[in-house]
Structure 1
Amino acid sequence: MAKKSFRIDSLSTENFSFFGIVGPLPDYQMAYRLNKGMGMQFCKSPDLSVYLREQVILCSLYFFTDETLHINYFLLRNENQNDILIPRLRSVDYFLIIEAFANHPSPKIFLKRMRSITGILAVLSIPINEKDHINHILEDLECHSLEDPSSQKRKYYDKKNQNNCNHRSSYKRFKNADRNY
């Protein structure tokens, strides 16, 4: 009988945008300032386990879905428990991974507003490279979202309590904030 081999296809990275945020704030404060300054509603998710260099790195993870624009935002801390997720980007404190950022109506204004938030020193666009650990992070993030039962509970909770993690009105708040910007 012929020998069969299976190969895992790499996750398509075309739909993701990857940004580095430099800002020496605790993760809850960074999420709060992004919520306040950008009209987002980041919610704490269980920590993400990233499998790199034969070790597991636990990362603080915040998640936000803009249901109007169909965009998912993930906020990850780079330095966790004395481990650095991507050593090449040692100076970056957080990673903002955006799925379907091409759907955003004004990405330049979005980045400009994010750079103007107090506590954020810089926002860098990071190219997704095969040699980096970024593909591993995206794969672990996808597995985490499939395994995390709280994401389904969160949708139910959002419908019950519109004050907490209300994702639907974020686009209106973003557009209204643009008028004042």
Structure 2
Amino acid sequence: MKLTLDNDAITDDFFSDTRLIGIVAPIKNYQFCWQLNNLLGFNFRLDTEIDKQLRKKNRQYFFSVYQHEENNFLKYYLFHNHCDGEYLLPEFKHLDFLLLMKGDYVDDSGCSHIITTIKSIATVQMVAELTNEKIKNKEHLVF
């Protein structure tokens, strides 16, 4: 008997309680985290245990992930979308960062507040919520 993982089911389950925001901000990830921490009262920290690794063209690419835990249920993950010319989500090459809110439900007003606050950062050029249907490579964000 051969067992196979149902990646679609795993991905659907992972994204069942998430919201994802795409951000264009051509600055260093640690500078962006510092600004988010100051403006939103977050405590983003680099989490090397959940760094995303992709193997393309016989090479490993590492995408840093920062994590902030709001409470026991709600966690925020900030992904850097590019590494040496490769992209974590290639369908969104123009995005520099992906902010994933996972766990506890974030209502529309909470999400809107976060988007508005991020837009107030001088180096931010664009912020938009991404719907699950538009994300082709969701499995790249699953951990």
TM range, normalised to the smaller chain?
0.7 to 0.9
C-alpha offsets along residues 110-142 of structure 1, whole Å, 9 cap, x if unaligned? 2222222222221111122487112x2233xx2
CA RMSD of aligned residues (A): 2.4
Partner of 1:7: 4
Partner of 1:152: none
Instruction: Find out whether 1:67 has 2:64 as its counterpart.
Output: no
- Secondary structure of the structure 2 residue equivalent to 1:102: coil
2-side partners of 1:18 and 1:103: how far apart? 11
Structure of higher CA gyration radius: 1
C-alpha offsets along residues 75-102 of structure 1, whole Å, 9 cap, x if unaligned? 1111112212222211100111110362
Aligned-pair identity (%): 18
Partner of 2:136: 132
Partner of 1:114: 118
1-side partners of 2:133 and 2:61: how far apart? 20
Change in Cα spacing, 1:26 to 1:41, as seen in structure 2 (3 Å) is same
Partner of 1:176: none
1:74-93 alignment to 2 at 5 Å?
74-93=77-96
1-side partners of 2:104 and 2:115: how far apart? 11
- Secondary structure of the structure 2 residue equivalent to 1:117: coil
Please report the TM-score for the alignment, with normalisation by the length of structure 2.
Answer: 0.80
Partner of 1:42: 44
Aligned length: 135
| Moved beyond 6 Å, runs of 4+ | none
| Counterpart AA for 2:110 | S
> Does the CA contact (< 8 Å) of 1:52 and 1:133 recur in 2?
no
Q: Which runs of 5+ in 2 are unaligned?
A: none
Please report the TM-score for the alignment, with normalisation by the length of structure 1.
Answer: 0.65
Change in Cα spacing, 1:57 to 1:117, as seen in structure 2 (3 Å) is same
| Counterpart AA for 2:2 | S
2-side partners of 1:129 and 1:52: how far apart? 24
State the Cα distance separating 1:44 from its structure 2 match: 1.2
| Counterpart AA for 2:43 | Q
State the Cα distance separating 1:56 from its structure 2 match: 3.6
> Does the CA contact (< 8 Å) of 2:81 and 2:95 recur in 1?
yes
Partner of 1:57: 61
Q: Which runs of 5+ in 1 are unaligned?
A: 143-181
| Counterpart AA for 2:35 | R
